[in-house]
Structure 1
């Protein structure tokens, strides 16, 4: 039996949907018929105003702006996809992390999901169904002490929060699922590989190898594509995954060496 996924008339909010994996998610859900709204601090010229709301989700005020826009422009939400995340912490291990840097990592990687869920989940419960997908990271189980301690800890907090939330709301028809990517070949990842390649006197493929070695290797031999992450998210948000909740799906090319 052919399996087809569509989200016709479904209302979908995607955070950080103007580049990288988030943009791939937005484009795929649009192709599948969804009414999509996305958000970032600034709107790129090639992103339509019709699907965009400008906000800084690292603040409570920014989350409130997006929640209100979702209610006003979509009339609620059926699928909520938290892609937002990243790190600005310096290298140097634990001693290089100040209180402000710890706070920034939590404000970027944990609190936007907590705040938007708190604002929009009651509507899902009232309508008797919905899907929330939290994008975590393999860093929460495979941190790099030199540079990603705070980011990894924030993603671990997001993962634990997500699991707890799933146990609370799944009996009322709202599924909560985690997607845990490894290295994704986004614009930022390409720029990093190119910079490392230039420093090492090699080409882009050589730069990619440097990154993969730093992760302990990727058995698949390459990073995931943004579209591949989007495909997994679309499946998990679809009725084909109707019995899946509370679990985490790793998409890392085999980077994590354990089952």
Structure 2
């Protein structure tokens, strides 16, 4: 009798359908739920600057339009920040842009150079129009923290600025300076003229010969400069976090306390 039933189950269409019905897999619900988990929006590490205690994260609220702005690098709005810096220096002056980690200490160093007439800190080389500090800190906009230096070429040549640039940071660490980690802390020289580009390339080659590790400094055309929030401007000269003002006097050699 059992043998007969077994024979029927393999030949009867009704019984065959019942037997071949797929079994419920306990793993599938978990696989489905795993697809709902938030995924990191950027492969780059976040900044660890001590001054910032509330780092915005990209999540569902961001996608709904709340929180830091993001932009599609292929969108039309991206053509603005990716365009050249169209600001004009004072008559007889020239611009230069440098990224060498946290822009507070870098700015103060440039302020002390004779012939430098103005400095501003800001964001550049990213694809988001009008970024905020919080936007840049997400690591998704590709901006670099830079100092835009205005200088009088009759009193200060570009090579002097390059020498300070190399002395202020480690150009061999990618997207990092000390405890500051993130794409905004990358090393970069952003030129305005062919002469600046040539001098930057030659300077890099000279310094590479002195280093036992590869320099990762990028040398690119200067793009639109977005001035950082006012509290970032001349931050250390105004006292920094602890209210101790640091000298901007030309030629001053006092040690720079990077965070105040």
| TM-score normalized with structure 2 length | 0.25
| TM-score normalized with structure 1 length | 0.25
The structure where helix makes up a greater share of residues is: 1
Larger relative CO (CA 8 A, sep 6+): 1 or 2?
Answer: 2
